């Protein structure tokens, strides 16, 4: 039997995502009510610019006083899609204090203060759901938090930013330079006017922190994530990748150490073999691989951003939270019992592709090989091309630690025969 009194929802933010949330709540009201077991009512919408016309939202629901809205006392669920740290953090904690559960898409806040927000939710017997914070419409948080709760996740590897994937895909498929590909992404609306958060890896790093925390039952903050942007990736890097049968993607990688005693989280460009499923992820799409003991390899793929896809994830959380409210229960909260240490980048072990500018004369290769051997880095392949006294030397290593590779590169720079280090890129997915 359906309850007749509606569950009241406060919406904080009515931009691209918020407006889609409001639209779906209105147009699919009957279906949502049937799935939840009670009607859902949009009780208020907090915005910064009240004069803006918002189709489908009655003017009497619009307010600029978000704090008063979450303090009303009759709100069942607060949906936060304003982003940023403040005032979002204060509004969410206030919502808990006044008896509401929260659905959020705020990756930056969750990556920085997720533990405190989970604690606040638990203190007030409320839910904190945030499927939309990572990978848009792709169901990823709930499978990690619930479906794989009985398994041991060892690695999460994926493309979690559509803007950077679009740019790198364009560079790969057309031979365009970085700036040309960025300009096209901006013109098509895939990149913001200021693309720093995307192209420098901040967005992906926040998502990596969230994923690592859930996957490894360990608190991982944004500051724990190694971050390297993709603005230095060149057409020459793609040419080198193609020579190896690879392409280049900006990857978020969360790993459990081989001995299981620690975890790492990192974001950086990497070469991956064309045979790997992530290599075929094109345009602004996202895809994430999850590797675990019992289930093996799982891949999640789909649109990772945009108003409607992200709103889909928000509404999925809204349905789950509303069901919990009706049943007088809460869903899973933070699981950080493992409390594993988060290691730095120096402990990460992977393969490397190093391109060196060297003098084109006898003995150079031997000198370079000696440096690698002295630092315990084993060479897999070497390719050398020379002309007019200058040469390019490309070295691909076997697996080595980042610390060992850093020492190797520092020593290489001191050789008289090495003119410079043109590029260093990790090789993943093998």
Predicted local confidence at residue 388, as pLDDT: 63
Cβ density class 180-217: b for 16+ within 10 Å, e for less: ebbebbeeeebbeeebebbbbbbbbbbbbbbbbbbbbb
Predicted local confidence at residue 29, as pLDDT: 95
pLDDT tier for residue 196 given thresholds of 50, 70 and 90: very high
Task: Name the residue among 120, 76, 156 with its Cα closest to residue 333.
Answer: 120
- Is the sign of the CA dihedral 109, 182, 427, 144 positive or negative? positive
pLDDT tier for residue 385 given thresholds of 50, 70 and 90: confident
Determine which of 124-128, 354-358, 360-364 has the lowest per-residue pLDDT on average.
360-364
Predicted local confidence at residue 254, as pLDDT: 98
Q: What are phi and psi of 426, to 5 degrees?
A: -80, 150
For 322, residues 6+ apart whose C-beta sits below 8 A from its C-beta are 7, 36, 38, 40, 76, 77
Catalytic annotation on 152?
Answer: no
From 8, 107, 170, 207, active-site residue: 207
pLDDT tier for residue 52 given thresholds of 50, 70 and 90: confident
Q: What is the mean pLDDT of residues 145-173?
A: 96
Question: Could you tell me what percent of the chain has a pLDDT over 70?
Answer: 98
For the question of whether the overall pTM of this predicted structure is more than 0.85, the answer is yes
Q: What is the mean pLDDT of residues 42-58?
A: 88
* CA 351 to the chain's CA centroid: 22
Residue 36 has pLDDT above 70, yes or no: yes
Separation of alpha carbons 135 and 310, rounded Å = 8
Predicted local confidence at residue 99, as pLDDT: 97
3-class secondary structure, 374: helix
**If you ran DSSP here, which 8-state letter would residue 284 be given?**
T
Q: What is the mean pLDDT of residues 159-174?
A: 96
Span 248-278, pLDDT tens digits: 999 999 999 999 999 999 999 999 999 999 9
According to DSSP, the residues that pair with 9 across neighbouring strands are 42, 77
Residue 2 has pLDDT above 80, yes or no: no
Q: What is the residue-averaged pLDDT of the chain?
A: 94
Predicted local confidence at residue 386, as pLDDT: 67
3-class secondary structure, 395: strand
Predicted local confidence at residue 228, as pLDDT: 97
Contact 61, 42 (CB under 8 A): yes
CB atoms within 10 A of CB 414: 8
Task: Name the residue among 382, 394, 388, 383 with its Cα closest to residue 357.
Answer: 394
Residue 332 has pLDDT above 70, yes or no: yes
Span 5-29, pLDDT tens digits: 899 999 999 999 999 999 999 999 9
């Amino acid at each position: 039997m359906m309850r007749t009194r509606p569950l009241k929802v406060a919406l904080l933010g009515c931009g691209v995502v918020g407006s889609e949330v409001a639209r779906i709540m209105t147009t699919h009201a009957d279906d949502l009510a049937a799935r939840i077991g009670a009607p859902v009512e949009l009780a208020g919408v907090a915005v910064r610019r009240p004069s803006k016309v918002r189709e489908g939202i009655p003017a009497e629901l619009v307010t600029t006083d978000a704090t008063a809205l979450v303090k009303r006392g009759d709100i069942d669920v607060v949906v936060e899609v304003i982003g940023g740290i403040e005032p979002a953090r204060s509004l969410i904690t206030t919502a808990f204090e006044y008896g509401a559960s929260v659905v959020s898409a705020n990756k930056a806040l969750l990556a920085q203060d997720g533990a405190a927000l989970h604690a606040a939710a638990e203190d007030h017997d409320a839910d904190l759901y945030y499927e939309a914070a990572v990978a848009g419409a792709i169901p990823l948080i709930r499978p990690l938090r619930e479906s794989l709760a009985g398994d041991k996740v060892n690695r999460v590897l994926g493309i979690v930013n559509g803007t950077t994937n679009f740019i790198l895909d364009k560079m790969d498929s057309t031979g365009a330079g970085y700036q040309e590909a960025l300009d096209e992404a901006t013109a098509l609306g895939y990149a913001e006017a200021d693309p720093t958060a995307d192209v420098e890896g901040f967005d992906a790093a926040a998502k990596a922190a969230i994923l690592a925390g859930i996957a490894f039952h360990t608190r991982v903050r944004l500051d724990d994530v190694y971050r390297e942007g993709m603005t230095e990736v060149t057409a020459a890097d793609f040419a080198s990748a193609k020579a190896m049968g690879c392409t280049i993607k900006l990857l978020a990688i969360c790993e459990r150490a081989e001995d299981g005693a620690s975890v790492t989280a990192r974001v950086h460009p990497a070469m991956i073999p064309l045979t790997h499923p992530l290599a075929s992820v094109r345009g602004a799409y996202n895809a994430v691989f999850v590797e675990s003991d019992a289930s093996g390899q799982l891949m999640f793929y789909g649109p990772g951003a945009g108003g409607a896809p992200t709103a889909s994830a928000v509404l999925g959380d809204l349905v789950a939270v509303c069901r919990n409210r009706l049943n007088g229960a809460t869903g899973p909260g933070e699981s950080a019992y493992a409390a594993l240490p988060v290691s730095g980048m120096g402990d990460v072990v992977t393969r490397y592709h190093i391109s060196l500018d060297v003098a084109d004369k006898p003995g150079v290769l031997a000198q370079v090989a000696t440096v690698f051997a002295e630092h315990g880095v084993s060479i897999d392949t070497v390719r050398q091309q020379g002309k007019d006294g200058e040469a390019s030397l490309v070295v691909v290593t076997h697996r080595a630690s980042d610390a060992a590779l850093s020492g190797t590169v520092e020593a290489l720079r001191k050789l008289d025969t090495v003119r410079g280090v043109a590029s260093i890129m990790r090789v993943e997915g093998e």
